[in-house]
Amino acid sequence: MIKQLITKNNVGLTMGILVFVILWFIPIQGLSPAGSKALAISSLTAIWWIFNLMPPAFPAILACILFYVLKVAKPADAFGGFISPSIWMLLFALVIAAGVDKSGLAKRIASLLMSKMPLSFNGMVAVFIAMCFIFPFFIPAAAAYVALIMTLAVGFLEAFGIERNPKNKISAGLTCFIGILALTLGRVPLTGAVANFVATGLVRDLTGVSVTWTEWISSMWVVAPIPAIATYFYITRKYKPDVALSKELMREQVKRTVDSLGPISSKEIRALILVLAAITLWIIDPYLNIGTNQIGILIGILFIMPYIGCLNMNDFKGLSWDTFIFAGGSYSIGIVLTVTGFSQWAAAGISSLSFLQNGSFFVIGAFVILLSVLVHILIESMGEISLTTPILVKTGLLSPKAVSMLVPYGDGLFLFPYQATPIILSLGFNTTGWSDVTRYGIFLTIIGILQAMLWLSVYWVYTMA
């Protein structure tokens, strides 16, 4: 009976409620009553996220409701995330992703890349690494581009008669890196990952400082080369096939994939024009001053306009609304923690650390990245970004621009599959196992931290000023 009661769900449920009650009723020195109550609700939410007690959207929206019903924050703050342009940008990023996918444009781009690859295992690895870099520019939703790349990888395995099995060296090697590397390289364009525009949105709302698409990429392009090269050598050495793959089979599979697409359709052309328009507008936005979010929302609307886009209302209804609710609720938590004084209180505690008080950009930047990595081990990306960004902004130790970039960078280093839904999605194809993904995640996280130490010293200290 006792063993039946002591389950993961029961422990998480009980711990969340217990921590909520303690923080709600026991005053914390230096923290206002409103700040304590906001912390209580946020802690309840975070614990339920950590224990994966229920779909993450539910605790997120529950936090908003509790902020409002228990009079911790005004309605505009309690539900502030759903007012923010950054969250609406997320919604229309999902629209753009659906348009690129359903039009067939994404598969055509992937097929074009595959038709140019060397006919070898190493060549395939190189092409799938290239896809992990390219698709975040065209599809601003990680789950969509990870699913597409994994589907193409599975098609190759089946064409070669290679068993989809985590114990199979080729199967595991060709796919163990896709989820993590795609998410990591998704930090390169501002619109490549939800964490990017949630962080920049919070910074803009809290400080008035905006980061443009070109400002972002001018700092973050350096994130791509080292992880991509390191991944290539890691996979081609550790998972080198015992038997060479048939070049004839590879040639036939590529031809089959390309032929199955047929002539380019009007939907593909419209999708391509809209995506290129978005990227172009984001690049020249410093001269137009429209705004990254506004451009994304506009292009997203055009994707569902009759005769212009390539989606209908049924496609719109089929979007991942859970993701939108989760993001809006998480964002609202960050806002409430700030307006109630908790972020300032926590920031004062961090600022008092002696090694930060007179620390250089390198020391403080490294601290921000490592803190983000550690918190992200416990909490999914949007929760981690929403909880830590306001606190780090209020410390004043770094410029708002640096905080908006370094927090997502640390959040983009993944040790374990459970840290992001797209990684779990990649495991669902049964081509690789948890242990392979974790080993690769540890490898790439070490590379990412070492890379950050380099860029903090010689590059980011100038571009993030």
With pLDDT > 70 as the criterion, what percentage of the chain qualifies? 96
Closest C-alpha to 387, from 376, 400, 398: 376
The average confidence (pLDDT) of the chain is 86
Q: Looking at the whole model, is its pTM more than 0.85? A: no
337-353 average pLDDT score:
88
* Highest mean predicted confidence (pLDDT) among 66-70, 90-94, 104-108: 66-70
Give the three-class secondary structure for 153. helix
Q: For 324, which DSSP code? A: H
Determine the Cα–Cα distance for residues 380 and 317; give it in Å rounded to an integer. Answer: 25
Closest C-alpha to 460, from 365, 374, 390: 365
Give the three-class secondary structure for 179. helix
pLDDT of residue 2: 52
122-137 average pLDDT score:
90
Q: Are 231 and 177 in contact (CB under 8 A)?
A: yes
Closest C-alpha to 441, from 186, 178, 165: 178
pLDDT tops 90 at residue 235 = yes
pLDDT of residue 243: 67
HSE at residue 121, side-chain half, CA atoms within 13 A, is 22
Residue 69, token pair as written in the block: 């019903």
Determine the Cα–Cα distance for residues 339 and 80; give it in Å rounded to an integer. Answer: 11
When pLDDT is cut at 50, 70 and 90, the band that residue 381 belongs to is confident
Closest C-alpha to 86, from 195, 221, 215: 195
pLDDT tens profile 257-281: 777 778 888 998 998 999 899 889 9
pLDDT tens profile 170-206: 888 888 999 999 999 999 999 888 889 889 999 998 8
Distance of CA 103 to the CA centre of its chain: 24
Determine the Cα–Cα distance for residues 296 and 319; give it in Å rounded to an integer. Answer: 16
